[in-house]
Chains A and B, each alone.
Chain A
Amino acid sequence: MSGKVDQRRREFVSVAGLAAAASVVAPGVFLQATAQAEPRSAPVSSKTRYGMLIDTTKCVDGCSDCVSGCEKENGLDLLKMPEGADPEEWDRQRPRWIRTVKVKDRLTGTVTSLPMMCQHCEFPPCQDVCPTGASFRRVDGIVMVDRHTCIGCRYCMMACPYKARSFIHEDIDEKLTIAPRGKGCVESCNLCVHRRDNGGTTTACQDACKHGAILFGDLNDPNSEIAQELRRQNNTELRADLKLNTGVRYRGI
């Protein structure tokens, strides 16, 4: 089997999708998504593409503030180790939306610390493999799981090159209204989607980072801070060879 990405098929699919979308919206009717402090009342639009820029030169080894900030915001800290479970196994398998990762350049020996989460690909492999359509990319660029249709097969966990997804193995007693969660479903970073839809301008990890290493924003808006930063200095996609066009970009690796 060829390991090459079938880019032509992807392009065809995107074009077909655009054609379908164009036929639905009547001519002259434009759906607008404006920044508002109120809960979102209009459907999300592809004019926006949310993403993040992570400056690994600012990221400090040993710090995990973004992880704890994320876990507190999204109720992951409410999860308890099942009784009788092996603590080591629990630590390895417990649901996490962000992990801290160290990468080493074999030639130079440079070590870089960075937070790793769902990269919000334009062409998400998790969506490609999902048999029920639960794994999907919202038109504003957020890759997420519709847990109403997730059957817990975990194909997406296998397909994700970034190991970004977690599985909920046990029933959960305590959960937050903003972050529903239950046994048998897969989940991952959704760029704090509840904040997106309620007028928030940051993510929990960005707020938690004391070093200012995480910047969130709209990649499509040329005036946004993130777009300007991306333009100003070079940045990298992780596993750019896969041509997934990730929404999360890194600087300094």
Chain B
Amino acid sequence: MQDMFRFGTRLLMVMATFVLAQSAVAGQGAGSVIEGSKAYGLDSCVEPTPLMRKKHYAFLKHDRDITVHQGVRTIKHSLAGCVDCHAAKDDAGNYVPVTAEGQFCQSCHEYAGAELPCFSCHSSTPTKATKAGD
């Protein structure tokens, strides 16, 4: 009987966590896209928003290999694409890093308690392309 009770409590806890997580994600809402970024004026990302929220890392991880090993630069899910669209400009017209406090990538990763290691190597602002190549 005690076992049954324990199981029931655990089940309840799991369900509660799930419901909370769902409402937390929903709570982010459309406001999470930063004003002043290209993304702000668009209806949705390269995939539907709920899918992007759940799977953006998987998309990036898949497509990065296609770019690095096969040289394909027209992939749909590119990190440079994320940064290009989601980096906002400040009043002076300079890009704000997507990893800065309150910015698109940082704010959600902070909320979710997930690390954001992409930008230890990749640029967190769009940098100018050279004349001879992107």
Contacts and interface: CB of A to CB of B under 8 A. Distances in A.
Please determine whether chains A and B interact with each other in the same assembly.
yes
Interface residues of A, number: 38
B72 A42 contact: yes
Given A40-B73, A40-B74, A193-B71, A171 B134 contact: no
Contacts of A204: 130, 132
A228 B130 CA distance: 29
Interface string A183-197: 101000000111111
Interface stretch (A102-110, A123-131, A140-148): A140-148
Interface stretch (A4-12, A112-120, A173-181, A230-238): A173-181
A43 B68 contact: no
B interface, size bucket? 20 to 34
Given A44-B71, A140-B71, A178 B132 contact: no
28 contacts: A39-B74, A40-B71, A40-B72, A40-B73, A41-B72, A41-B74, A43-B71, A43-B72, A138-B70, A146-B65, A146-B68, A148-B64, A148-B65, A148-B68, A171-B120, A175-B121, A176-B123, A177-B123, A178-B127, A180-B123, A192-B133, A193-B71, A194-B134, A197-B73, A197-B134, A201-B132, A202-B132, A204-B130
B15 interface: no
B130 A178 contact: yes
